[in-house]
Structure 1
């Protein structure tokens, strides 16, 4: 009888604990403006969320939204307004709002998505808390996309001279400035409108990684692609919690998020963009799109032409009370540490 009573008490206690456990589960809504199969969602956010859910034993559950609550430039404000708990976006979509965080957007900073993503996060981790550019949010990750190309619907860009007078679709403020300095006329359009714009002659080309050309259905109108060695530009993406949501997590939950964020997000990005580009280039090659490489002399010329962007960024950093030279030097050092083409086990 005592044994039965003990078992009965244990079962009753277990049953009574189930509702409490369910109540302890926190659902974290992740705002998303991209389709679920885009690599940022499927290759970065989903594995990141799954790792944290596992780490917390299910006390955190992430719900990635399938419908956008607003356009890409609105994502940070939607996050601050608590439309969702976690958001992501492109820093360059909000011109002038995150200029110091966008250090990796400067010309020829990111040679590949591994180096660019690692350097963007490590630089922000070291200096970003003082920037004050993300007040109201808690940034858990930064990453960059892979090397962009100059993708043309008509004609070819064999040299910088060929860019002059061309209308090029761009995604962010720094990219627009780069195209303008190189002689092209930038036009900012959503990627979903790029194919139509080029088909109708509104734009002659677009700056995009190969992955994005395929994903957004632009491949059919592309005739030639010009690679720019060294990485002409990149966009810096952010991943952040609303500050109130972050403060509402327990210390153990915050530790679990931190464990799988930061450099973990950067490395997921490296995998995602590298694999995405392989798929995109395969599709472009199947269509017979011609790939050309900008000559070394023109790359050197582009670096010199675009030097004012760095000078202006340094002046802005100084105006805001920061040592821009130190930040820039650190970012470049981190790029070198994480370059995908670093030679190892080689005697020189």
Structure 2
């Protein structure tokens, strides 16, 4: 028979209370993701993030990636804002009217070093956009860019402006639409996840992607001609967010722990992955016999002219969307990117 002393009993009660308190404070967060579990965003970015959350909070907060997305890619901001999922990631481009303020980072010539871009975008968000009404209701965990999107065609070389006349390209947002239509091409709006079936059915002739996206969305048999713009033909902006009320409900200890692994650090991790993936994709596609060519000076000049018009039009739209000084914000991003780019990975065009 086991006899407990009074001190042993007090110790057992205290330990039980501590365990109960720990169990009560444990939090499991759900994440909805819309890429397949084999995609590098899942394996190399999202999964490590969930592991870091558990490690930083000593297991008090865990993140479970759901086995299937709860909605289409354009709906993932609302999933988190409304608390249907606790954490989501997605593309600002898919809700262009809500995120007019972000258009500046999707213009041509935004850069080809994704880590530097993503760090610069995070700093720009903190300095100029954190209080903007478009971002209310969520906790911003990270923002990111992908190192310059390029032109891809299924059957012909595209180097000069006249090569784009009446060519149907899949694209994802208003910046890409403006670029294509101004160059005489026919823009067809759809998420990147729809590109394969649209190419196979002949709905489109080509598609806008990063080089890695051609490989990771398994489009290499459908897109064999690639046109490279040295500073990017366009870009896309991404978010990782958490429901605001769910964030507020975490303990101060856990919020402080998670703050240490999000923000610029998580944004940089996003960009680093693209800086690894894009050159690897160029090597793989080149080895497979794909045609990879530089845009002609005439095509680059045509895009630069469109860029100037885009910026002028965006300034007015951004002011209407609550940005106090859009030109200053654009300068801030560009200057920050340029200061960071030499320290980043190899550009996509090399």
Per the normalisation by structure 1, the TM-score is 0.91
Q: Which moved more, 1:113-122 or 1:249-258?
A: 249-258
Give me the whole-angstrom Cα distance separating, in 2, the residues matched to 1:102 and 1:317.
9
- After TM superposition, list the pairs within 5 Å mapping 1:110-189 onto structure 2: 110-189=111-190
Give me the whole-angstrom Cα distance separating, in 1, the residues matched to 2:317 and 2:104.
11
Partner of 2:324: 322
Give me the whole-angstrom Cα distance separating, in 2, the residues matched to 1:25 and 1:183.
56
Instruction: Give per-residue Cα distances to partners, 1:1-52, cap 9 Å, x unaligned.
Output: 9997645653454345333322211111112112223222222222223222
- Name the SS of the counterpart of 2:100 in structure 1: coil
Give me the whole-angstrom Cα distance separating, in 2, the residues matched to 1:145 and 1:294.
19
Partner of 2:217: 216
CA contact (8 A) 1:165 1:183 kept: yes
- Name the SS of the counterpart of 1:100 in structure 2: helix
CA contact (8 A) 1:39 1:273 kept: no
- Name the SS of the counterpart of 1:70 in structure 2: coil
Partner of 1:248: 249
Partner of 1:51: 52
Partner of 1:346: none
Give me the whole-angstrom Cα distance separating, in 1, the residues matched to 2:258 and 2:344.
30
Q: Which moved more, 1:146-155 or 1:316-325?
A: 316-325
- Name the SS of the counterpart of 2:139 in structure 1: strand
Structure 1: unaligned runs, 5 residues or longer: 344-348
Give me the whole-angstrom Cα distance separating, in 2, the residues matched to 1:94 and 1:307.
23
Q: Are residues 23 and 326 of structure 1, via their aligned partners in 2, closer, same or farther at CA, if it must alter by over 3 Å?
A: same
Q: Which moved more, 1:156-165 or 1:39-48?
A: 39-48
- The runs of 4+ residues in structure 1 deviating greater than 4 Å are 1-9, 340-343
Partner of 1:61: 62
Per the normalisation by structure 2, the TM-score is 0.91
- Name the SS of the counterpart of 1:187 in structure 2: strand
Question: Following TM superposition, by how much is the alpha carbon of 1:215 offset from its aligned partner in structure 2, in angstroms?
Answer: 1.3
Question: Following TM superposition, by how much is the alpha carbon of 1:90 offset from its aligned partner in structure 2, in angstroms?
Answer: 0.4
Give me the whole-angstrom Cα distance separating, in 2, the residues matched to 1:209 and 1:289.
15
Give me the whole-angstrom Cα distance separating, in 2, the residues matched to 1:17 and 1:96.
49
Q: Which moved more, 1:236-245 or 1:3-12?
A: 3-12
Partner of 1:37: 38
Partner of 1:332: 334
CA contact (8 A) 1:119 1:334 kept: yes
Give me the whole-angstrom Cα distance separating, in 1, the residues matched to 2:247 and 2:28.
12
Structure 2: unaligned runs, 5 residues or longer: 346-350
Instruction: Give per-residue Cα distances to partners, 1:238-262, cap 9 Å, x unaligned.
Output: 1111111111122222222221111
Q: Are residues 321 and 240 of structure 1, via their aligned partners in 2, closer, same or farther at CA, if it must alter by over 3 Å?
A: closer
Give me the whole-angstrom Cα distance separating, in 1, the residues matched to 2:24 and 2:341.
45
Give me the whole-angstrom Cα distance separating, in 2, the residues matched to 1:83 and 1:263.
26
CA contact (8 A) 1:181 1:306 kept: no
Q: Are residues 271 and 129 of structure 1, via their aligned partners in 2, closer, same or farther at CA, if it must alter by over 3 Å?
A: closer
